[in-house]
A and B are shown apart, each in its own frame.
Chain A
């Protein structure tokens, strides 16, 4: 089971959009996918039209030790969702008074290791909190989601170093990749930012850059992935390409050694 966390301390850079649509794209590649919404704002839950329902959420799993299976719901697009709720915000406060709170998610995910091929974790916009620490500790890969906008590169470099510090070294470190989002090829500025990202991150930067698309915003409002709404649009093409790129990576189990960035295959 591969576990990927989508993180960045900057809000609005596309973490939730990436996690939701990549889950749909991997499902269409015949993968069993679980999407974990770890953001107290519950945007991934909202984006799939699952807000307001009864039943346990990831908050009960982390706060009360409820089994993860009890919170898993099937969504229309064919993958599973572990929804979030506002109660999750309490975890940051309670975590100060408990031991080893940063490992709670990893322990919970171990119980479903045989049910899923991929676990995608939508992290809150906070690189140094205990929720993001849970995600990084549980992950075999961390994807730093960076919008190709102003201050993006500087913020990405800082976020990357913060994420690396979350690892205490007791487990094998996850792979770090970077994904460019909201890329608008029409503007010279966006192309320059992409060039800067490639120069800074090299092979860690995914070949696929997620392009700016109105369809992505509409799909979130309608509560479904863009692959359901506009399957032939460029946003859907980008996420299918990203899914292929992820599937082409060497598979890594938790605790095993990680391949170096130089060995990351490119598309094709």
Chain B
């Protein structure tokens, strides 16, 4: 790990920042001085204050590693830059007045995860304002942390809920199955009917597993996905780790709109009962494919 990579790991977004700097022609710590502040801020995809802080950390790191300052002869440059930045900055912004807020939209699991990461980064000890939640090579116009903070302010403004009042019809952040590569997560609109356990075919969902869930009262994939893993474990008798994975596979299958396998040709038993136990194949569910 060279000094520039170390700096990016210590005070920026790690490999993404390092890649941006190298793409801009900066592959050594010393070359950072060749950037002027606006250019550095653009390269880092951060505000100028953050870029100034980054430059300051670079100088301290260079001094620490080599025992000498990055540059000589311009001791006032940092002060000049700080003064210029403060002169150009507008007055401290008030909390902007906004239109009456619309209900907090449903957030997919992927977006919820990004919100969590953005909050973690915003809580960093340093004051850097890197858009760390942006995809590599891209940048968000509005930091996701602002979205979270705005949602919290709106909830605070509503005050504590009244216990006697009926439950509010409030959109909550509900984990959704991971997206299948399309822009939207969650279940596809076409899936209307719950998928019966009897006829589904999913990896790991053996007949014994289906029977265990059915006997415990979970007769469809939706029932399994709606239940929490601990409850599934306690009622079905299956191991917790196994249940977590089975539930994840069921969630993903529902998101992909898996229909009951051969539902046209294999009608579900009229009684709704599972077929008699079938012996597992000798190779087992994880048999190696032909090599």
Contacts and interface: CB of A to CB of B under 8 A. Distances in A.
Interface stretch (A94-102, A132-140, A234-242): A234-242
Given A55-B286, A55-B288, A187-B125, A211 B2 contact: no
B90 interface: no
A140 to B, nearest CB: 21
Contacts of A222: 244-245, 248
B165 interface: no
A67 B178 CA distance: 37
A191 interface: yes
A115 B209 CA distance: 36
Given A53-B287, A207-B18, A267-B15, A232 B9 contact: no
8 contacts: A53-B285, A53-B286, A197-B1, A203-B2, A209-B9, A232-B135, A234-B13, A237-B15
Given A54-B287, A186-B120, A232-B114, A267 B5 contact: yes
B241 A221 contact: yes
A266 B284 contact: no
Interface in A166-201: 180, 183, 185-188, 191, 194-195, 197-198, 201
A198 B113 contact: no
Contacts of A230: 110, 113, 178
Interface in A10-52: 46, 49-50, 52
**A interface, size bucket:** 35 or more
Nearest to A56: B288
Given A54-B283, A234-B132, A268 B19 contact: yes
B109 to A, nearest CB: 8
Given A203-B2, A266-B5, A211 B244 contact: no
B113 A215 contact: yes
Interface stretch (A68-76, A117-125, A157-165): A68-76
Nearest to A197: B1
A151 B64 CA distance: 23
A74 B287 CA distance: 10
A69 B288 CA distance: 10
A268 B6 contact: no
Contacts of A232: 110, 114, 135
Contacts of A201: 1
B9 A194 contact: yes
Nearest to B120: A186
A68 B178 CA distance: 34
A49 B247 CA distance: 13
